[in-house]
Structure 1
Amino acid sequence: MPGTALACGLATVDVVQVVDAVPGPDEKVRALSTTTAAGGPACNAAVTSALLGVRTTFVGAVGQGPLSSVVLRDLGAAGVAVEDLVGPAYEPAVATAVVTRSTGERAVVSGRPPVAPVVDGIHSGRLAALLDGVGALLVDGHLLEAAVPLARAARAAGVPVLLDGGSWKPGLEDLLPVVDVAVVSAAFRLPDDAGLAGLLGAGPTFVAASDGAGPVRWRTASGARGEVPVPVVDVVDTLGAGDVLHGALLAGVARHGTGDLPGLLAEAVTVASRSVTAEGAHGWASV
């Protein structure tokens, strides 16, 4: 039976400015456009999953302040439910992105997320309620005090756990043993730099690595391996493309399970490639 989806991790407020060229030292340029939107790997993945028609809940730190309202606005507009794990005084970090109009390339300055103690912890009853009817869980390596117990409970309940591995973070050694599917970026490195084979040895049974416009390489614990080519498209904005890839894969697994992960990965790559042809992480959905 198709299930709903959970995405647990980071939400930020992204300020995105499009320019003709990134300014050099002591140089000022005028932005061609400026937008403020919810961001963060798990947050963007949750929105993507919902836009693809899967009922999705974001689990993370949001709060109720002025910056929090940006996140709540955009999640609500996409139909994403929110399980807020922190108190009302918390506000998300701000990330600033500068996008070059001619190439779609972006430079990002990320604020460090504030310390976000999980209110009342993640007790067994709350975990069971969150996982009821869920077909897949995505974690992004942030908010590990919630992600690790949620992933363990998902594994025990037979719910596939997906990891968005943007970069190595302390604490991932506790999360990887309960991850089924890990899709990492080219920048992701295990502490021993063991590559995809090492990542398989850490727990997941299916691993893949994206590399921008290059093919997405995948391997399985049974020894199968392959590549998914990335379609050639006219690039407008690459911001959030990786998050869209993970959100599309989350939606696919929630609907269809893990029986054909290479096929679902190929479909997710197609959605991510479509996303870079429009402005913003989710402009593709309205084109």
Structure 2
Amino acid sequence: MKSQSSVVIVLFRFSNSDRERSGKEERERCFGSRRRSLRYRISMSSDPQNAVVVGCGGVSIDFLATVAAYPKPDDKVRSTSLKVQGGGNAGNALTCVARLGLNPRLISKVADDSQGRGILDELQSDGVDTSFLVVSKEGTSPFTYIIVDNQTKTRTCIHTPGYPPMIPKELSKSSLLSALDGAKIVYFDGRLPDTALVVAQEAARKNIPILIDAERPREGLDDLLKLADYVVCSAKFPKARTEASTNPQALVSMLLMLPNIKFVIVTLGKDGCIMLERSVDAGSSMEEVDADNLLESLKLKRNKSVSIPTCISSSVAKLKAEGIGTVSGKLYVGTAESIPQTELVDTTGAGDAFIGAVIYAICAKFTPETMLSFAANVAGAKCRDLGARSGLPYRADPRLASFVLEKLSTSA
């Protein structure tokens, strides 16, 4: 704890007035460019341009300091750059969704302080509907110190939760129903567990699809997973949740434990992702295949000379996990973009960008192969700038043009 405190003091040593002025100037610079960028959104009738997406989860202000190399205990170092911008998993993912052209509504909580106002301003400037956020007259808004190591391209987060936490009664029944009205999908990042469960139960009653970001085991997450249609996991979550020894076995286990899930994805950073999609049409005579062996066979088919994201899929099979069981489904291996070291800036929020793109792909009815490649492209674009949001691409970004054109051709 001593070493963390020393680092934070050195990186962020300025008075409260300096902090607010620095944050305000940085937000104005960022928000002004975002407002100008909104003019470049394009409208296509065959895309889910007006689809409503509801998100429930965390928001924050991020203080991002880049250092030449992460300090050792009791070291004092200077930051090479400082950036102040909005963060939080739900806030980041819905910002991504908004820039891709959908209509996101966010359920969360901030305090009526300078950080809370900054959070609201940034979300609103990106087109996120914040009318369902609770603004507490007392307390503090969440914030995170993020130390970006320019040498290893890694980041370390030190988060301070907001206080007091959101409770279900702060979201009235009428507000909840208004938020869910017309929604195509509801997304949860696993935070605000009591409120999230109330929202998820109402969404399930209305047959609105539910996507869960399973980043790590959290209070109340299991209750949310039981209601989920789609799950996107961090690299460590599936094995931690199921105690399986490999990811393929863990994904089989998750589909067996959670019968409502249509697919589960595990993101693996620079190694791409794995997805297991449930099949409901598999015949009893279908061949049984070991899940681990199937994954290895798909990996051998990857073309490592290609830098752009690709996706390889198996045929529908009965996937067997030794000692766990079998499930009928289809396995996918998605690659990440191979980003040159000179272009890789920061991985903060890459998972949120990936999830935002998956949400868009579900609304756009992309094929699984297209969805995973699209999401990897969006995440790769994000990694070329500092912070969780600066690099998020807009709908008209040339890097996404092939996916828009593919959707148009399949819709014709």
Calculate the TM-score normalised by the size of structure 1: 0.91
> Is contact 1:63-1:84 (8 Å) kept?
no
How far has the Cα of 1:12 moved from its partner?
1.6
Distance (Å, rounded) in 2 between the aligned partners of 1:271 and 1:103: 22
Identity value in percent? 27
How far has the Cα of 1:221 moved from its partner?
2.3
Question: Residue 336 of structure 2 aligns with which residue?
Answer: 230
Alignment partner of 2:361: what SS?
A: helix
Alignment partner of 2:146: what SS?
A: strand
Question: Residue 274 of structure 1 aligns with which residue?
Answer: 381
How far has the Cα of 1:210 moved from its partner?
0.4
Question: Residue 193 of structure 1 aligns with which residue?
Answer: 243
Question: Residue 131 of structure 1 aligns with which residue?
Answer: 180
Question: Residue 210 of structure 1 aligns with which residue?
Answer: 267
How far has the Cα of 1:135 moved from its partner?
1.5
1:91 counterpart (140, 148, 158): 140
Q: Which amino acid aligns with 2:334?
A: V
Alignment partner of 1:217: what SS?
A: strand
Distance (Å, rounded) in 1 between the aligned partners of 2:159 and 2:114: 18
How far has the Cα of 1:142 moved from its partner?
0.4
Which deviates more, 32-41 or 84-93? 84-93
How far has the Cα of 1:81 moved from its partner?
1.2
> Is contact 1:52-1:251 (8 Å) kept?
yes
Distance (Å, rounded) in 2 between the aligned partners of 1:99 and 1:277: 13
Q: Does 1:146 align with 2:195?
A: yes
Cα 1:197–1:106 change in 2 (3 A) is same
Q: For CA contacts below 8 A with separation 6 or more, give which structure has more relative contact order.
A: 1
Q: Which amino acid aligns with 1:198?
A: S
Higher helix share: 2
Distance (Å, rounded) in 2 between the aligned partners of 1:102 and 1:26: 19
Q: Does 1:20 align with 2:127?
A: no
Q: Which amino acid aligns with 2:124?
A: G
> Is contact 1:85-1:119 (8 Å) kept?
no
Structure 1: runs of 5 or more not aligned: none
Distance (Å, rounded) in 2 between the aligned partners of 1:65 and 1:231: 39
Distance (Å, rounded) in 2 between the aligned partners of 1:121 and 1:33: 38
> Is contact 2:67-2:78 (8 Å) kept?
yes
Distance (Å, rounded) in 2 between the aligned partners of 1:69 and 1:24: 35
Question: Residue 265 of structure 1 aligns with which residue?
Answer: 372
Structure 2: runs of 5 or more not aligned: 1-46, 245-249, 280-328, 398-412
Distance (Å, rounded) in 2 between the aligned partners of 1:149 and 1:261: 30
Cα 1:117–1:279 change in 2 (3 A) is closer
Distance (Å, rounded) in 1 between the aligned partners of 2:194 and 2:346: 33
Distance (Å, rounded) in 2 between the aligned partners of 1:15 and 1:44: 15
Which deviates more, 114-123 or 135-144? 114-123
Cα 1:181–1:119 change in 2 (3 A) is closer
Distance (Å, rounded) in 1 between the aligned partners of 2:122 and 2:153: 23
How far has the Cα of 1:63 moved from its partner?
2.6
How far has the Cα of 1:192 moved from its partner?
3.8
1:31 counterpart (75, 79, 91): 79
From the CA coordinates, give the structure whose radius of gyration is larger.
2
